[in-house]
Homo-oligomer: A and B are copies of this chain.
């Protein structure tokens, strides 16, 4: 067993667990900062550890292009390459193929596409995506999938979802036929699709559950559909996915989305929000997010979130970080990024504590009331 549920909430589907990987344990619910190209933008691995980050995400598509499998193999995998000795999850790159590359052709075999970097023609198959992730050495791997847009015709979502299931089968087969390269175990999750069509998602999830993956990624959501549709799909997934396997909601999301998904039984999250928005000056506080580029912070010598116990709030004022952003100093981006990561880690860590104490729902409602009331641009 790679996953243990430690405590289940009484009122909701929320649960606390522990995922075991070759690079240590991950307490859930957990937020995973995004380090697409083997770097969480502007932050060093030891700084991530200091923010209590348990696991980061990297991207198979990007790492396949650069540095490429040769270099990654010579480095003995991504952990050694970037000096990160804690768990790491890789996305399959399917989503990036669809969103970044040109001239893609999807067939039963896999997907042919043009690299967004140099225009060369590349071919991803369920098999070679597993091979690449063996070389990367991620602790948790994703199979190649197709992520349909929203909205999409039901017939298309069904056809695509069925192919994703067949691809998942091939991925699992390849996994069994190969071995980890660096001596640590690698888990493989299944990615459920089906858009917001309840019957399709149920059918698709069941097919994957039958294959017995190490965990289940809930894919094809957070692609533009109303939040209520997403929540409906999570409630449905809760009933279909096995309780004793971790569940990862891909690409989510805002603090509100995360807490509402935890309430519906989700264990793992990743999102570019804390890192990408940081680079535009938006930082998160317990009383809403604010934009530090605003002139009103020019003479505000308080911390981003007074009393919030993290490195950035202990050491820097809004006025200083605003100055750094205002004059284009890189350090401004780094401090905003580090703060936001710390905030999202605090969010899922606190959710966990509140589940353990049996107060999750009450805390969530209090938190969101304060957070949403104070939210600014």
Asked whether any CB of chain B lies closer than 8 Å to the CB of A152, the reply is no
Give A295 Cβ to nearest chain B Cβ, in Å. Answer: 11
Which of A142-150, A153-161, A228-236, A328-336 contacts its partner?
A328-336
- Do B39 and A324 have beta carbons less than 8 Å apart? yes
Q: Could you jot down 21 A-B contacts, CB within 8 Å?
A: A37-B324, A38-B320, A39-B329, A41-B330, A41-B331, A42-B330, A43-B331, A45-B315, A46-B315, A66-B326, A67-B319, A67-B323, A70-B299, A71-B299, A74-B301, A75-B301, A75-B320, A81-B317, A81-B323, A83-B320, A330-B330
Q: How far, in whole Å, are A299 and B81 apart by their CA atoms in the complex? A: 11
Between A38, A45, A75, A327, the greatest number of chain B beta carbons within 10 A of the residue's beta carbon is seen for A327
Minimum-distance CB pairs A-B, first 6: A42-B330, A39-B329, A67-B323, A39-B331, A37-B327, A83-B315
Asked whether any CB of chain B lies closer than 8 Å to the CB of A44, the reply is yes
CB neighbors of B among A24-71 (8 A): 37-39, 41-46, 62, 66-67, 70-71
Q: How far, in whole Å, are A298 and B315 apart by their CA atoms in the complex? A: 37
Q: Which residue of B lies closest to A73 (CB)?
A: B299
Q: How far, in whole Å, are A72 and B3 apart by their CA atoms in the complex? A: 53
- Do A334 and B323 have beta carbons less than 8 Å apart? no
Q: How far, in whole Å, are A299 and B320 apart by their CA atoms in the complex? A: 40
- Do B75 and A331 have beta carbons less than 8 Å apart? no
- Do B327 and A41 have beta carbons less than 8 Å apart? no
Q: How far, in whole Å, are A323 and B37 apart by their CA atoms in the complex? A: 9
Q: Which residue of B lies closest to A301 (CB)?
A: B75
Chain B residues within 8 Å of A331, by CB:
39, 41-44
Asked whether any CB of chain B lies closer than 8 Å to the CB of A316, the reply is yes
Give A344 Cβ to nearest chain B Cβ, in Å. Answer: 19
- Do B81 and A329 have beta carbons less than 8 Å apart? no
Q: Which residue of B lies closest to A70 (CB)?
A: B299
Asked whether any CB of chain B lies closer than 8 Å to the CB of A82, the reply is yes
Chain B residues within 8 Å of A320, by CB:
38, 75, 81-83
Interface size class of A (residues with CB under 8 A): 35 or more
Identical chains bound together, number: 2
Q: How far, in whole Å, are A291 and B326 apart by their CA atoms in the complex? A: 30
- Do A316 and B74 have beta carbons less than 8 Å apart? no
Q: How far, in whole Å, are A356 and B316 apart by their CA atoms in the complex? A: 39
Chain B residues within 8 Å of A327, by CB:
37, 62, 66
Q: Which residue of B lies closest to A41 (CB)?
A: B330
Q: Which residue of B lies closest to A323 (CB)?
A: B67
Q: How far, in whole Å, are A335 and B323 apart by their CA atoms in the complex? A: 23
Chain B residues within 8 Å of A41, by CB:
329-331
Q: A296-326 CB contact bits vs B (8 Å, 1 = yes)?
A: 0011010000000000000111011001101
Give A177 Cβ to nearest chain B Cβ, in Å. Answer: 28
Between A39, A70, A316, A319, the greatest number of chain B beta carbons within 10 A of the residue's beta carbon is seen for A39
Give A323 Cβ to nearest chain B Cβ, in Å. Answer: 5
Partner of A42, one of B67, B75, B82, B334: B334
Partner of A74, one of B62, B299, B326, B334: B299
- Do A334 and B330 have beta carbons less than 8 Å apart? yes
CB neighbors of B among A271-308 (8 A): 298-299, 301
Given contacts A74-B301, A81-B317, 18 further A-B contacts (CB under 8 A): A38-B320, A41-B330, A42-B329, A44-B315, A44-B334, A45-B315, A46-B315, A62-B327, A67-B323, A71-B298, A74-B299, A74-B319, A81-B319, A81-B320, A83-B315, A83-B316, A330-B333, A330-B334
Q: Which residue of B lies closest to A338 (CB)?
A: B44
Q: A106-128 CB contact bits vs B (8 Å, 1 = yes)?
A: 00000000000000000000000
